[in-house]
Amino acid sequence: MPQTAPAPRTALVTGSAGFIGYHLCARLLEDGFTVIGLDAMTDYYDVALKTRRHAMLNQRPGFTAVEARLEEPGLLAGLMAHQAPEIVVHLAAQAGVRYSIEAPRSYVESNLVGTFELLEAARAHPPAHMLLASTSSVYGANTDMPYAETMKADMQMSFYAATKKAGEAMAHAYAHLYALPTTMFRFFTVYGPWGRPDMALFRFTRAILEGRPIEVYNHGDMMRDFTYVDDLVEGIRLLIDVPPERPADASGIAPGDSLSPVAPWRVVNIGNSAPVRLLDFITAVEAATGRRAEKIMMEMQPGDVPATWADGGLLTRLTGYAPKTGLEEGVRRFVAWYRDYYGV
């Protein structure tokens, strides 16, 4: 008898019209997944970008868009009951360090209440693996670098980071109580085509091409572990297939692993593991645009940190993968996309 092809796996991706969500959904669709994408289309930045991303995904077989707020009581529970996703990737969040000073309540609603609604839905309708986005900002005031997942991270410098750290703790409790295999990933300064307008690369590129000066915080004395979006998505895709298991006891945890001794839960950094000076980053943008930047030197912004640097060893041990796109190449790809999208 002819063999029946296996049914495609179903993934629920929250924040599917966002920068990372769009790229991840596209990758999952390429791999044959059925994808349900949830996004609220909030106006934190240009909604036209989000609409265009969802429109492109909607043109592909296997994608279903749902426009709704994840913090709406019972919405996620109903969606998961109906769709029964095997994989859940939670990317939806109120982002931005600086905006969390201006509008902290939106972070409570999206990052805390929204994550709670997801965890409750997963408790009632358990997926095989749940993956939730965190941020390198949770390392906060730590000065020992590179940042490793096993480091203590209890001194967040912004309310945004505090809500993401709280999300990690909430997910751990649910993983322990309800045996939900859960992976938290900490992102390190993601950039690339279709990026967010509030991020440095987008702001620098726009200002330079429009002949306006750029604001350089902390007088340029900053370092970031810039991670190209395709590398980040590859890391997430590979982590989907390695759900954590609760070890019999703490002695079963491999050295350097962030796995919990009481829950099928771990944290994984996804970063390029190669910090870049802010002024060198600006030089790469200048090279890609073919124009020099006029710089206005500014003081450090409240809630910001002077440096980030990922220890990517755990991701490599789990998946065999390490991000590899060089900064100059990644910036060139972004600038090419920006020129094409905005007709510059």
Alpha helices per DSSP H over the chain: 19-30, 47-58, 75-83, 99-102, 104-107, 114-124, 159-178, 200-209, 229-240, 278-289, 313-319, 327-342
CA distance 81 to 64: 16
Q: Is 145 exposed, middle or buried (0-12, 13-18, 19+ CB in 10 A)?
A: middle
Cβ 37 vs Cβ 13: under 8 Å: yes
Encode 183-217: b = buried (16+ Cβ within 10 Å), e = exposed: bbbbbbbbbbbbbbeebbbbebbebbbeeeebebb
3-state secondary structure of 156: coil
How far apart CA 223 and CA 273 sit, in angstroms, is: 12
Structure tokens at 277: 């000076």
Q: Which member of 99, 160, 174, 228 is catalytic?
A: 160
Please check whether residue 303 is in contact with residue 160, taking contact to mean a CB–CB distance below 8 angstroms.
yes
As a whole number of angstroms, the distance between CA 307 and CA 276 comes to 9
Least Cα distance to 292 among 282, 302, 301 occurs for 282
Catalytic (active site) residue 174: no
Which residues have a catalytic role annotated?
Answer: 160
